[in-house]
Amino acid sequence: MFAGMDRVIELVRKEVRQLRRDRQMLPFLFVVPVLQLLLFGFAISTDVKHLRVAICDLDSSYTSRTMVRELGASEYFDVASYLASIQEADATLDDGTATIVVVLPRGLERDLLAGRTVSVQVLLDGSDATSATVAMAYLTRFAQQHSARLMEFRRIHQGAAARSVPDIVTETRFWYNPLLASSVFLVPGAMCVIIGMSATIATALAIVREREIGTIEQLIVTPIQPWELMLGKTIPFLGVGLYNVSMVLAANAAVFHVPLRGSIGLLYASSALFLVSSLAVGLLVSTVSRTQQQAILTAFFFLMPNFLLSGFMFPIENMPVPLQWVTTLLPLRYFLVIVRGIFLKGVGIAELADQLWPLAALTLGIMLVAVWRFHKRLD
Amino acid sequence: MKRSRSRTAAILRKELIHIRRDTRSLIIAVLMPVALLIIYGYGVSSDVRNIRMVVVDWCRTRESRALVSSFVQSGYFRIVGGTERYADAQRMLDLGTTRTVLVVPTTFARDLAKGNVTHVQFLVDGSDPTTANVAAGYAEAIVGRVATSAVRQSLARRGQPRPRGVPPIDVRVRVFYNEELRSTNFIIPGLIAIILAMTAALLTSGTIAGERERGTMEQLAASPIQSRELMLGKIGAYSLLAAADVVLVILVGTFWFGVPLRGSVLLLMVASGIFLMAALGLGLLFSARMATQQTALTAAVLSTMVPSILLSGFYFPIRSMPSVIQVLTTLIPARYFMVITRGVFLKGVGWRTLWPQIAMLALLAAVILAGAIRAFRRKL
């Protein structure tokens, strides 16, 4: 047993030395993950704001101009251009100068003063369904507020005899993230994705490379056991992963200030668990690949789902049910809920038990399969 | 000249033999894009429906129940529980049992009847800002509709059975290009661009570093072959493979997912061809610059996967990025290709609208290929 540990330590030392010498690879392990995080945190905003509106004001009256000004003053809409006629609307939507065209009809002011209903036509580029729905909701609300004000105005002009009309105001509060900052959502998530991705790729390539350049035979003829070899190959990358967790936390504290409300200890412990599962996936990939190109293609096949199906960007509850079952096999799915819970909600082990168990079980499962396949490959 | 062409053809033939022999990589290369497109076409949906909601109804009148039921009937919200206590609702947000809470105050019905302004509270779990935004927008619109009908009723009670001019402003929305607002129609053309970008870069990124690792590079160096000929030969072979991918993903997008293909197929093919040159060239560039396959492959994955998902405008609008990063996005081929696929698929626009994107793609492809040839010449 002790001799075994010695051999593992020797192997780790060899791996570390090899890594240190590989000048081109080092930045990908140590610098790129943090750069990616900065990219996620800075570049991405999921806010549906500043939608570009083209105005086609056929009335050009005092009332219509006031409406346009108010629309442009809200943070949701930017007036991008003014159209002289509806004929220009098509071209505007086609080339993307604006995604919304608002047509204020001729006679708008006259009709409003006469107490008639005015129909405002809105042409909407629906390609991006999400922003289109949000835009629709904002525009409807805008019209409702305007309507309420106009009715109040009419009431005053009809004299005190007319009674006031009711209205309902929605007070919306956003919890955990009152300003709806995208970084609050993406930084903890990006941390999970990034550390998992580099751990899987690095492990898979490190082993297959050894096989491709033929040095694995040398390792096999030594007294080293398969499990020692596996430990020796994965421990350095576990270290790299935990280092990257710390770097992410540091970058967050320095730049993004996403509140870390829960326990750091729990965060590291669950990160280690998740890293082990990612390393095991890398190991598994290495056992089914002959060349590094095959390894990367296969790893990639595992990694894309992590990006798109884990709930990192798109809510799992919106997916079709069979696909939701598939997502239960992704370790990242649970780890994301854990990390976001610790960061944003400050919840502890009790609340996260439902996520920690499946993560641990999956990790164990993947590890067993990887170990079994690894043995078979070596024998 | 003629001899140069025959040398290029020889390389092309050699690469094709390589591709054919590595059956597994061949299968992965052809089937993976299709498999990915199908999985993600289903999985990646930004349609926000059935948002979980907990109701705290302190009013318990016909009016408050009507408000709640208009939330349910909208199809956007699904009630997962009701409680009398505010603290319970908070706990459900903490546990993630619900995403939203609707709080109706005791005075709700009374205020409406009196013609006063009343307030309802809507708590949203803001940790996912997109969903939160959409949920808040829906809630506003639903409450607004209930308010309008309350106005109608209140006027009707006062002896105006068919109130004229209520509401004074009525919005009529007409949706273009994606009439049913299916997010699939937006996402599939984008996914096509992303998947092609990554597959193409992965295909070529191993080739030159691989020759070096296997030691066959010396043989090539000893032959009269020029850097340009070698590059063209390799690109030619892999672009045959990638062209098969293009045709397959377009077929799956149109026939499987029913995304309307309104524009010219020819334009789409030409644009894909130029885009593939850029993506394959990027892989070759890495392959030529990096010493080992390991580094070249890692570089190719990291530099195509993340930027083409995040910075191409696939899901996150480029306009809301900081201006430094907006400048950076102009270097990403997928950015232009995405505008083209979406334009051709959904809007049915043609050369006249898309020429700036096509020109930029061509420019990038030329620069990348020239870079790859130069990097390789130095190594040779």
Please determine, for residue A365, whether its predicted confidence score (pLDDT) is greater than 70: yes
- Check CB contact under 8 Å for A174 and B176: no
Question: A376: pLDDT confidence band, cut at 50, 70 and 90?
Answer: confident
- Cα B269 to its chain centre, rounded Å, is 20
Measured between beta carbons, the chain A residues lying within 8 angstroms of B262 are none
In the block, residue with structure tokens 């509709």: B145
Token couple for A227: 């499990």
Burial class (CB in 10 A: 0-12, 13-18, 19+), A190: buried
Interchain CB contact of B182 with A (< 8 Å) = yes
pLDDT for the residue A194: 84
Contact in structure between A290 and A211 (CB atoms under 8 Å): yes
Interchain CB contact of A364 with B (< 8 Å) = no
Please determine, for residue A160, whether its predicted confidence score (pLDDT) is greater than 70: no
The DSSP code sequence of A134-203 is HHHHHHHHHHHHHHHHHHHHHHHHH-TTSPPPPEEEEEEEEES-TT--HHHHHHHHHHHHHHHHHHHHHH
Which of A255, A251, A249 is closest to A267 using CA atoms? A249
Residue of A18, A35, A53, A168 for testing the chain B interface, max B β-carbons within 10 Å: A168
List all residues of chain B from 270 to 299 with a beta carbon under 8 Å from chain A: 290-295, 297-299
Axis-axis angle for helices B265-289, B183-205 (nearest 10): 40
The ipTM is 0.71
pLDDT for the residue A233: 84
Which of B205, B221, B209, B236 is closest to B10 using CA atoms? B236
pLDDT for the residue B328: 86
pLDDT for the residue B165: 62
Contact in structure between B57 and B68 (CB atoms under 8 Å): yes
CA of B282 to nearest chain A CA: how many angstroms apart?
Answer: 16
Give the sign of the dihedral formed by CA B303, CA B253, CA A303, CA B293.
negative
Quick check: pTM over 0.80?
Answer: no
Measured between beta carbons, the chain B residues lying within 8 angstroms of A202 are 298
Interchain CB contact of A28 with B (< 8 Å) = yes
Token couple for B270: 């030409």
- Check CB contact under 8 Å for A140 and B144: yes
Give the sign of the dihedral formed by CA B242, CA B247, CA B248, CA B252.
positive
CA of A131 to nearest chain B CA: how many angstroms apart?
Answer: 8
User: A203 or B49: whose pLDDT is higher?
Assistant: A203
Residue of B191, B298, B315 for testing the chain A interface, max A β-carbons within 10 Å: B298
pLDDT for the residue A356: 92
Contact in structure between A123 and A54 (CB atoms under 8 Å): no
Measured between beta carbons, the chain B residues lying within 8 angstroms of A119 are 170-172
List all residues of chain B from 217 to 236 with a beta carbon under 8 Å from chain A: none
CA of A342 to nearest chain B CA: how many angstroms apart?
Answer: 11
Contact in structure between A53 and A80 (CB atoms under 8 Å): yes
Per-residue pLDDT of chain B (380 residues), as tens digits, is 567 778 888 888 888 888 888 777 788 788 888 888 888 788 776 667 788 999 999 999 998 999 999 999 988 899 998 898 988 888 888 777 888 999 999 989 888 888 788 889 998 887 777 778 788 888 888 888 888 888 778 777 776 655 566 667 777 777 778 877 777 888 889 888 988 888 888 888 878 877 877 778 788 778 888 888 888 888 888 888 888 889 999 999 999 998 999 899 999 999 999 999 999 999 888 888 887 877 888 788 777 777 788 788 887 778 778 888 888 889 899 999 999 999 899 888 888 889 999 999 999 999 999 998 888 877 66
Contact in structure between B131 and B82 (CB atoms under 8 Å): no
- Written in H, E and C, the secondary structure of chain B is CHHHHHHHHHHHHHHHHHHHHCHHHHHHHHHHHHHHHHHHHHHCCCCCCCEEEEEEECCCCHHHHHHHHHHHHCCCEEEEEECCCHHHHHHHHHHCCCCEEEEECCCHHHHHHHCCEEEEEEEEECCCHHHHHHHHHHHHHHHHHHHHHHHHHHHHHCCCCCCCCCCCEEEEEEEECCCCCCHHHHHHHHHHHHHHHHHHHHHHHCHHHHHHHHCCHHHHHHCCCCHHHHHHHHHHHHHHHHHHHHHHHHHHHHHHCCCCCCCCHHHHHHHHHHHHHHHHHHHHHHHHHCCCHHHHHHHHHHHHHHHHHHCCCCCCCHHHCCHHHHHHHCCCHHHHHHHHHHHHHHHCCCHHHHHHHHHHHHHHHHHHHHHHHHHHHHHC
- Check CB contact under 8 Å for A94 and B305: no
In this predicted model, what pLDDT tens digit does every residue of A52-105 receive, in sequence order? 899 999 999 998 999 999 888 888 888 999 999 988 888 888 888 888 999 999
Q: Cis (ω within 30 of 0) for the bond into B224?
A: no
- Identify the top-confidence range among A276-290, A317-331, B152-166, B206-220: A276-290
CA of A2 to nearest chain B CA: how many angstroms apart?
Answer: 33
CA angle A50–A52–A57, rounded 5-degree value: 125
Q: How many CB pairs under 8 A join A and B?
A: 382
Residue A313: DSSP 8-state: S
Please determine, for residue A163, whether its predicted confidence score (pLDDT) is greater than 60: no
- Check CB contact under 8 Å for B302 and A132: no
Q: Cβ–Cβ contacts within 10 Å for residue A108, how many?
A: 21
Q: What distance separates the 2 farthest-apart alpha carbons in chain B?
A: 99
List all residues of chain A from 134 to 173 with a beta carbon under 8 Å from chain B: 134, 136-141, 143-144, 146-148, 150-151, 154, 163-173
pLDDT for the residue B352: 87
Question: A161: pLDDT confidence band, cut at 50, 70 and 90?
Answer: very low
Residue A93's contacts (CB-CB under 8 Å, 6 or more residues apart) are: A99, A101, A123, A125, B176, B177, B347
* Nearest CB to A129 within list B93, B147, B181: B181
Report the C-alpha gap between A63 and B172 in whole angstroms.
19
The percentage of residues in chain A with a pLDDT greater than 70, rounded to a whole number, is 94
Please determine, for residue A310, whether its predicted confidence score (pLDDT) is greater than 80: yes
Q: Cβ–Cβ contacts within 10 Å for residue A164, how many?
A: 14
